Amino acid sequence: MSDGALSQDEIDALLAGVDSAGMGAPAAAPSSFPDGERKALQEFLASTVGAQSSNLSMMTGASVTVQPPQVEGVGRDAFLQKLPDMVVATKANFVSGVNGEHLYVMAKETAERIASLMNKEENIELDDMAMSVIGEVVSQLSGSQITALSDKTGNKGISAEPPEAVFQPKALVALPAGDFARATYQIDLGGGEAASLWEIFSAAAAKDIAKALGGGDASGMDMGLNMGMGGGASSFGASMGGGMGMGAPAMGGGMGMGMPAGGGAPMGGFGMGGGAMMGGSPTNVQSIQFPSLMPQGAHSEQGNIGLIMDVYMEMTVELGRTRKLIKEILGMGEGTIIELDKLAGEPVDILVNHKLIAKGEVVVIDENFGVRVTEIVSPMERMSDMG
């Protein structure tokens, strides 16, 4: 008789991921990702690959092609088996409009190639600068998806947290608990160089997206009808897409749905009489989209940045640069002319903490030099200049 302790065979079976009752038969993977949701998510992601290809091509300067992904439900162990030992994982969790975890995973070699193309530098190391480059790439990918999802659903309140890329062993990747949706992309980074990119959605995020796109299962649209009889209170509740409910007390012995008493014409689908009734004609129910009443991510960011508004940052104006041999530098003296890489009259660079953010022209204010801002540098230009 068992004393409740696990035998060594049962422990080995658990560690191996097999069913101890069958002792050797693989345990069935739980199904928490309905096929309707999977198809809706896959079709949506496939519709965005054209924009993703254009974005990556523009950012890297290479002819990048992203193939439509294959979406499937998978668990942590099964996914980790597909990964190389070292990966770059980039979190971009949803914070409003859609709830749940969201991240991108790529092999070390793929991240190195993308960072090299972005920085125009070969044999790049995956340091903090390279991680910021990968974060910028994921920001563009995630942003394109959110824009497309907002356009398709009418929900303008969808937003995600700023991406954070980390180079780490695969076992340390913070994957969603339980089963999740995995989208596998094949990417050509130019010259026929193929690579894989995995996009991960938690079960909650995948379900929210699929339901917003109208691809949820039948339980995604609920309709409840509670009707009082014989003078009792009655109520009619419906959930349509976004979840809209109606309730009304009984009037004159009950509120019915269908034809009013006396054989008159229907009144908006509701009748008033001595009892409850329903009409036989089918009702055309359509999803209704309401604007989000939740605060947007931008408001949260503005509130957070207010905490550091009084922190000083170093701003410099750079007239130009040049490179000299050590012997040339040691030979410098009074009257030496140093030729810079800027043309006369060309805008000067404005840097914050040594990062280029704008360009301007030199002006004189009273007896002091100043600079008038003439151009704000775009994020993609800043990333390309970091190399």
Which pLDDT does position 193 carry in this prediction?
75
For the four alpha carbons of 322, 324, 330 and 335, in that order, the dihedral sign comes to: negative
pLDDT tens track for 13-43: 445 444 433 444 433 344 457 888 889 999 9
pLDDT, tens digit (0-9, with 9 covering 90-100), for 165-176:
999 999 999 999
Is 120 within 8 Å of 387 (Cβ atoms)?
Answer: yes
User: Which is it for strands 235-238 and 355-365: parallel, antiparallel or unpaired?
Assistant: unpaired
Q: How far apart are CA 163 and CA 161, in angstroms?
A: 6
- Sign of the CA dihedral with 14 first, then 20, 25, and 30 last: negative
Alpha-carbon distance of 213 to 41, in angstroms, equals: 8
Q: What does residue 52 show for φ and ψ, rounded to 5 degrees?
A: -65, -40
Question: Which helix (H) or strand (E) is 129 found in, with range?
Answer: helix 128-153
Extract the tokens encoding 307. Answer: 């905490």
Angle 286-99-159 (CA atoms, 0-180°, nearest 5)?
A: 90
Task: Tell me if the pTM is above 0.85.
Answer: no
User: How far does CA 199 lie from the centroid of its chain?
Assistant: 9
pLDDT computed for residue 240 by the predictor: 38
237-240: long-range contacts, CB 8 A cutoff, minimum separation 24: 238/285, 240/285, 240/286, 240/287, 240/288
Q: Could you tell me how far CA 343 lies from the centroid of its own chain?
A: 43
Find, among 98, 292, 79, the residue nearest to 178 by Cα.
79
Percent of the chain with pLDDT over 90: 27
Domains and CATH numbers, the chain: 11-212 (3.40.1550.10), 312-385 (2.30.330.10)
DSSP for 200-220, written as a single string: EEEHHHHHHHHHHTT-S-GGG
CA distance 354 to 314: 8
Q: What is the mean pLDDT of residues 78-106?
A: 92
**Taking 50 as the threshold, does the pLDDT of residue 276 lie above it?**
no
- What type of residue is 206? A
Of the ranges 57-66, 97-106, 179-188, 296-305, which one carries the lowest mean pLDDT score?
A: 296-305
| CA-based nearest residue to 119, from 104, 106, 137, 103 | 137
In degrees, to the nearest 5, what angle opens at C-alpha 204 toward C-alphas 225 and 68?
115
- Burial of 129 from C-beta contacts in 10 A (0-12 / 13-18 / 19+): middle
Give me the torsion for CA of 249, 254, 258, 263, rounded to 10°.
-140
Average pLDDT, the chain: 75
pLDDT band at 300 (very low <50, low <70, confident <90, very high): very low
Give strand pairing partners of 180: 74, 202
Query: 177 vs 387, which has greater pLDDT?
Result: 177
d(CA 243, CA 235): 16
**CA angle, 163 as apex, 161 and 169 as ends, to 5°?**
130
Of residues 122 and 220, more confidence is placed in 122
